[in-house]
Structure 1
Amino acid sequence: MDQAVEARSRDRVSRMFRAAAEMGLTVCRSWAFNDGAYNALQVSPGHFDERVFKALDRVLVEAGRHGVRLILSLANNLEAYGGKTQYVRWAWEEGVGLSASNDSFFFDPAIRDYFKVYLKTLLTRKNHLTGVEYRDDPTILAWELMNEPRCTTDPSGDTLQRWIEEMAAYVKSIDRKHLLTVGTEGFYGPTSPPSKLAVNPGIWKDNNYGSDFIRNAKIPDIDFASIHLYPDTWLLQQRATVDEKLEFAKRWVASHIEDGDTELGKPVLTTEFGLSHRAQGFDPAHRDVLYRAIYDIVYGSAARGGAGAAAFVWQLAPEGMEEFHDDFSVVPSEHPSLRRLIKEQSCRLAKLRRGAGEEAKRALSACAAGSS
Structure 2
Amino acid sequence: MRMPGSFFAGPVRLVLGCLLSLLPLAASAAGQSGFVQVEGTRFVLDGKPYRFAGANFWYGAYLGAPGDIGDRERLRAELDQLKAAGIDNLRVLAMSEASGFKRGVSPAIMAGPGQYDEQLLQGLDYLLAEMARRDMKAVLYLNNFWQWSGGMSQYVSWATGAPVLDPDAHGDWNGFMQNSARFYAIAEAQSWYRDAIRQVVGRTNSITGVAYADDPTVMSWQLANEPRPGSDRDGRANFEAYRAWIADTAGFIRRLAPKQLVSTGSEGEKGSLGDMALFLQAHDTPNVDYLTFHLWPSNWGWIDHGDPAARLDTGLATSLAYIDRHIEVAGKLGKPIVLSEFGLNRDRGSYDPASGVEARDRFYRAIYDRLLERAGAGKPIAGSNFWAWGGRGRTDNPDWMWQAGDPFTGDPPQEAQGLFSLFDSDASTLELVSAHARAIRALP
Report the counterpart of residue 368 of structure 1 in structure 2.
none
Quote the residue 1:259 is aligned against: 329
Q: CA deviation at 1:175?
A: 1.2
Once residues 54 and 229 of structure 1 are traced to their aligned partners in structure 2, the CA distance between those partners, rounded to angstroms, is 32
Cα offset, 1:301, TM superposition: 2.2
Equivalent position SS for 1:317: strand
Q: 1:274-315, CA deviations, whole angstroms, 9 ceiling, x for partnerless residues? A: 112276699621111111111112112222332011121101
The separation in 2 between residues aligned to 1:205 and 1:93, in whole angstroms, is 32
1:185 matched to 2:258? The reply is no
The one of 65, 72, 94 equivalent to 1:5 is 65
Give the one of 407, 414, 419 matched to 1:327. Answer: 419
CA distance in 1, matches of 2:379, 2:137: 22
Alpha-carbon separation, structure 2, partners of 1:189 and 1:212 = 10
TM-score, length of structure 1 as denominator length: 0.82
Alignment correspondent of 2:222:
144
Partner SS, residue 300 of structure 1: helix
What is the deviation of 1:70?
Answer: 0.3
* Structure 1 residue 79 displacement after superposition: 0.9
Q: How many angstroms does 1:90 deviate by?
A: 1.4
Structure that is richer in helix per residue: 1
1:111-122 mapped onto 2 (5 Å cutoff): 111-122=189-200
Equivalent position of 1:284 in the other structure? 357
Cα distance in 2 for residues equivalent to 1:288 and 1:220: 37
Offset of residue 348 of structure 1: 1.2
Does the 8 A contact of 1:188 with 1:212 survive in 2?
no
| Distance across 2 between alignment mates of 1:36 and 1:236 | 34
Aligned partners of 1:16 and 1:317 also within 8 Å:
no
Matched, 1:306 2:379: yes
Q: Is the 8 A contact 1:189 1:212 kept in 2?
A: no
> Which 5+ residue runs of structure 1 have no aligned equivalent?
95-99, 191-203, 354-372
Q: Quick one: which of 28, 35, 40 aligns to 2:90?
A: 28
Aligned position for 1:65: 133
Alpha-carbon distance between aligned partners in 2 of 1:147 and 1:12, rounded to the nearest angstrom: 25
CA contact (8 A) 1:186 1:227 kept: yes
**Contact 2:303–2:311 (CA under 8 A) maintained in structure 1:** no
Q: In structure 2, do the counterparts of structure 1 residues 284 and 74 end up closer, same or farther at CA, with 3 Å as the change threshold?
A: same
Cross-structure match for 1:250? 320
Equivalence for 2:341: 272
Q: CA deviation at 1:129?
A: 0.8
Q: Which residue of 2 aligns with 1:155?
A: 236
Q: Distance in 2 between matches of 1:278 and 1:285?
A: 7
Alpha-carbon distance change, 165 to 67 in structure 1, aligned in 2, over 3 angstroms: same
Query: Which structure is richer in relative contact order (CA contacts within 8 A, separation 6 or more)?
Result: 2
- Residue 129 (structure 1) aligned to one of 176, 189, 207: 207
Q: What is the correspondence of 1:327-346 to structure 2 with a 5 Å cutoff?
A: 327-331=419-423, 333-346=424-437
Query: Is the 2:298–2:304 Cα contact (8 Å) retained in structure 1?
Result: no
Q: Please tell me the root mean square deviation across aligned C-alpha atoms, in Å.
A: 2.6
Q: How many angstroms apart in 1 are the aligned matches of 2:66 and 2:295? A: 33
Structure 1: 4+ residue segments shifted above 6 A: 237-240
For residue 12 of structure 1, report the CA deviation from its aligned partner.
2.3
Q: Deviation at 1:41?
A: 1.6
Mark the CA change 1:160 to 1:67 in structure 2 (over 3 Å): closer, same or farther.
same
Distance 1:78 1:302 in 2: 31
Residues 283, 52 of structure 1: alpha-carbon distance in 2 compared, 3 angstrom cutoff:
closer
Name the SS for the 1:138 alignment partner.
coil
Deviations 1:301-344 (A, max 9, x none): 2223320111211011211344533411111x422221111111
1:40 paired with 2:108, answer: yes
The letter of the residue matching 2:149 is Y
How far the C-alpha of 1:351 sits from its partner, in A, is: 1.6
Shift, 1:219, TM fit = 1.5
Q: Secondary structure at the match of 1:215?
A: helix
Q: Does 1:225 align with 2:225?
A: no
Structure 1 residues 236 and 350, CA, compared in 2 at 3 Å: closer, same or farther?
Answer: closer
The residue aligned with 1:235 is 301
Identity across the alignment (%)? 28
Alignment partners' CA distance in 2, 1:13 and 1:216: 36
| CA distance in structure 1 between the partners assigned to 2:109 and 2:275 by the alignment | 37
Q: Describe the superposition over 1:180-222 as per-residue Cα deviations: whole angstroms up to 9, x where unpaired.
A: 11111111688xxxxxxxxxxxxx7569xxx932112222111
Question: C-alpha separation between the residues in 2 aligned to 1:238 and 1:315?
Answer: 19
Could you tell me which amino acid in structure 2 is paired with residue 186 of structure 1? G
CA distance in 1, matches of 2:344, 2:247: 33
The secondary structure found in structure 2 opposite 1:120 is helix
Distance 2:93 2:385 in 1: 14
In structure 2, the partner of 1:369 is: none
Q: Deviations over 1:77-123 (max 9, x none)?
A: 011121112111211239xxxxx933221101111111111111211
Is the 2:269–2:275 Cα contact (8 Å) retained in structure 1? no
Aligned residues: 331
